[in-house]
């Protein structure tokens, strides 16, 4: 539920305003609101991952499958890493790297890139 109610909608809004609409609006308050909430969510995620291999502990789960594509999208599709200060979230980066290194994820990313 945390992903569906927070990560997905907020990262998507940041992406919309940053990649598509942000430059067209003088008033940056809507974008900045979503940036602030995305930073808060990244901080929650970073704290949760401290001392854990994955979101729920030692085992890779559907929770990781639901969250980390959004993190990857925020960074690589929306190119919003600098905007949200992603460098502040080392645990999230560590687990994102592990997620992307999984063979099935790598295969899936190739399928998505060719679509």
Domain boundaries of the chain, sorted by first residue: 2-114
CATH number belonging to the domain at 2-114, selected among 2.60.120.10, 1.20.1250.20, 1.10.3430.10, 1.20.1050.10: 1.20.1050.10
Query: What whole-number distance in Å separates Cα of residue 72 and Cα of residue 80?
Result: 10
Mean of pLDDT over the chain: 92
SS3 of the chain: the string is: CHHHHHHHHHHHHHHHHHHHHHHHCCCCHHHHHHHHHHHHHHHHHHHHHCCCCECCECCCCHHHHHHHHHHHHHHHHCCCHHHHCHHHCHHHHHHHHHHHHCHHHHHHHHHHHHC
Instruction: Determine the pLDDT at residue 95.
Output: 98
23 — pLDDT class (breaks 50, 70, 90): low
pLDDT tens digits for 89-103?
A: 999 999 999 999 999
Query: What whole-number distance in Å separates Cα of residue 64 and Cα of residue 67?
Result: 5
Q: Which has the higher per-residue pLDDT, 50 or 19?
A: 50
Query: What whole-number distance in Å separates Cα of residue 16 and Cα of residue 82?
Result: 15
Residue 57, beta-bridge partner list: 54
Confidence (pTM): 0.92
> Ranked by mean pLDDT, which of 13-17, 29-33, 53-57 comes out on top?
53-57
Query: What whole-number distance in Å separates Cα of residue 54 and Cα of residue 96?
Result: 10
Instruction: Determine the pLDDT at residue 113.
Output: 72
Residue 54, beta-bridge partner list: 57
């Amino acid at each position: 539920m945390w992903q569906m109610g927070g990560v997905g909608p907020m990262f998507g809004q940041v992406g919309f305003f940053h990649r598509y609409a942000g430059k067209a609006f003088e008033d940056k308050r809507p974008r900045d609101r979503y940036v602030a909430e995305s930073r808060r969510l990244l901080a929650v995620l970073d704290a949760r991952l401290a001392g854990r291999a994955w979101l729920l502990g030692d085992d890779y789960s559907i929770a990781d499958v639901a969250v980390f594509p959004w993190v990857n999208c925020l960074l690589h599709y929306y190119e919003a890493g600098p905007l949200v200060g992603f460098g502040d979230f080392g645990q999230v980066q560590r687990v994102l790297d592990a997620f992307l290194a999984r063979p099935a994820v790598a295969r899936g990313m190739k399928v998505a890139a060719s679509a």
